[in-house]
Each structure stands twice: as C-alpha cells, then as structure tokens.
Amino acid sequence: MAHRQKRRVDTTTSYDTGIPTFSKIGSMVKKLIVSSQYDFFEGEAFEVTEVILNEPSNRGSVRGSFINNPKQKLLGGSVKPLTPNITAVPLIGEHVVVTEYNGQHYYTGIINRKGSVNENSIPGVAGNYVENTKYGKTFERKNVEHIKINEGDIVFEGRYGHSIKFTSDKQKPVIKLVAGHRGTTENIDKDDSSIHLLGAFGNADTEDKKILIKSNGIFITGTNNIRLNSEKVELGSGANQSVVRGDDLKALLDQVFEVQIIINEATMALKTAEASAKLAAAGGTPTQETIDIGKEIVELKKQNVMLEDAIANSTYLSDTVKTA
C-alpha cells in the first residue's frame, strides 16, 4: 500500500582510499545522503479482475492485484470505493488508485490510461494475462467521444455518451444535461434527450433565464398538483388555475355538440320554410330577406360539419401534449 521506493542503489560500501580530503569527505557524505533517499507513494495502482456490484456492505467493490507488488495482501478482502455517495464502477482490466485506512483498502478513482471516456482497460499488467479478457458480464465497448470543454467548466461524463456540464455562456451560468450525444458539442436540436438550464447571474436581463427541454417524448406526472404558469401563454396563468382533462372534456362536449347539431337542423328546417313562404309571396323573385335567410342556412350547415368532425376526430385535442 503506501510504500517507499529507494531512488538509487546502495553505494555506501565503496569509498575512496588514501588520505582524507575535503572533496573526498564531501563525496562520501553525498553518497550516504543519496543512498538513504526514498520516493514515497501514498496510493498504488491496482488492476481490477473482479467487480462486486450489489453485495451488501460491499457494493461497488473490486478485487485484483497491485501492479507494483502483485503479492501484496488485500486488506479487508476487497477494495471498496472510498466515497459512499459517488461511485465510478471500474471495469475488468481497468486500473484504480488504491490507498489504505485502518486496515481496509479503498480505491479513489480510475486511472486515465487510454484517455477514453468509455473504457480504460489494459488487462494483464499485474501479470496472469487472460487472452480476450471481457470487460464484464454485459459491458460492450463503444466508440464514445469526449465532449468539448471550456475554461472553468466542471464536467461529469458517463461511459455511454451522457453528461452533466456546469459551464457558462458570456459569463452567465449554464447547466447542460444530455443523454445521447450526437457530437462533441451539446446541441439540443440533435442530441437524443436534453435539458439546458440558462441563468442570468450578474445580468439584469431576466429574459436570459430559461429551461430548454427536448426529446421525442416528454411525460410529466404528479399525484397531487401539476401547475403550469405563464404570463404570456394562457395555460394555467393566474393563481391556482386547473388543467383540463381532455378525454373527460370530450365526453361532455360531444353531448353538447350533438344537441347543437339537432338544434341547428331544426332551425334550418324553419328557415327553409320561412324562405319558401316569403319567396312565394314575392312571386318567386328572391328578395334581400330571402337571400339573407339562405346565408344563415349555409352557415348553420357549415357549423354542423365542424361539430360532426369534432365529435368524430377530436380535432380540438392535442396529439403531442398529454396529461395524466
């Protein structure tokens, strides 16, 4: 574990003979100092050959061999992740940095051997190389590129093309969550699913504050209240406005539409009789009054067509926005 490594070979057994001089004495002292110097290593590289996933009290632990000293005893029976809340699970063949506390070995992180966000496995470095070593039971290597970073960024990248980036745009805070990158730069129109949070810190322009969400399907559910408030869009604006349950509303409106269709048909029948009577009184010559009645009948027919279409095809309901 934490260990010392001698920098140079021991040269204290070979001294110049003859009469001591200041230069000979100085040379001897230097040799003594050099021969006693060590490099100290608090952590040590460890090659993973087994990964323990969900075993109680051993979640995320690994087994394997130390690279510098493969015969070194494994304290605690396995190497546990050092932190309990953030765990980057290594793959078989990857190397981790191991340290020791109170008789237990812990790993702090995966060594960036190959500069790959997907996997950094180099099996067999600690010995006993197994040909065609598998990374794990289910893991398969993917060609995943790093996303581009900017000055001051804090980035968390997964192995499969997803990331959380704390970045900035013109000195204003931005958080980008992406599942499924389609390039090395986040693009909300091209990436699979994205949430971009844009702030206006240090800027009086509150219009800069936005949350952008894009995916093929967006589902929002809640057991109690779901409120959508906006000053510009009449969707739940104002205090405690309710969201319409579309299917229930359709069942009610269908009945209203059917009654209105019957009323319109009855009105058209009366209007038709009225127009016929007035036309006969005028000797068969259309008057302005009979022409106006004819226009009313045409409008009622158009209204009935629209109402029948609404009943049959639910034209007033959205196919893309759903409520639970």
Q: What is the pLDDT of residues 14-23, one digit of tens each?
A: 556 667 777 7
Mean pLDDT of 68-75: 92
Overall average pLDDT of the 4-23 stretch: 62
pLDDT given at position 3: 54
Domain boundaries, the chain: 3-41, 42-142, 154-214, 246-313
7 has which bridge partners?
none
Q: What span, in angstroms and rounded, lies between the C-alpha atoms of 265 and 150? A: 69
Percent of the chain at pLDDT > 70 equals 83
pLDDT score of 157 more than 80: yes
Report residue 86 as tokens: 């953030």
User: What pLDDT does residue 235 have?
Assistant: 47
Is-contact 174 198, C-beta < 8 A? yes
Measured from the Cβ of residue 187, the count of other Cβ atoms closer than 10 Å reads: 13
At residue 318, the pLDDT reads 76
Examine the pLDDT at 95 and tell me if it is beyond 60: yes
State yes or no: pLDDT of 242 exceeds 80: no
**Start-end of H helices in the chain:** 22-35, 246-281, 288-313
What's residue 254's pLDDT? 93
Looking at residues 259-267, what average pLDDT do you find? 95
- Average pLDDT of the chain? 86
| The pLDDT of residue 204 | 59
Q: What is the pLDDT of residues 111-152, one digit of tens each?
A: 999 999 999 999 999 988 888 899 999 999 999 999 999 999
Query: Residue 197 corresponds to which tokens in the numbers above?
Result: 């949070």
Average pLDDT over residues 69-85: 94
**DSSP letter at 186?**
-
The arrangement of secondary structure in 42-142, i.e. its CATH architecture, is: Beta Barrel (2.40)
Written as six digits, the tokens of 251 are 């069942």
Annotate 191-255 with DSSP letters as a single string: SSEEEEEE--TT-S-GGG-EEEEE-S------SS------SSS-SS-STTPPPP-HHHHHHHHHH
**How does 161-178 read in b/e, with b if 16+ C-beta sit within 10 Å?**
bbbebebeeeeeebebbb
**Residue 1 above 70 pLDDT?**
no
Give this prediction's pTM: 0.65
pLDDT, residue 40, reads 46
pLDDT of 23: 76
For residue 124 the two structure tokens come to 């067999």
Q: Specify the pLDDT at position 15.
A: 56
Q: Say if CB 50 and CB 65 are below 8 A apart.
A: no
Taking residues 202-228, report their average pLDDT: 78
Mean pLDDT of all residues in 244-272: 92
What is the per-residue pLDDT across 183-201, written as a single tens digit (0 to 9) for each? 999 999 999 999 999 998 7
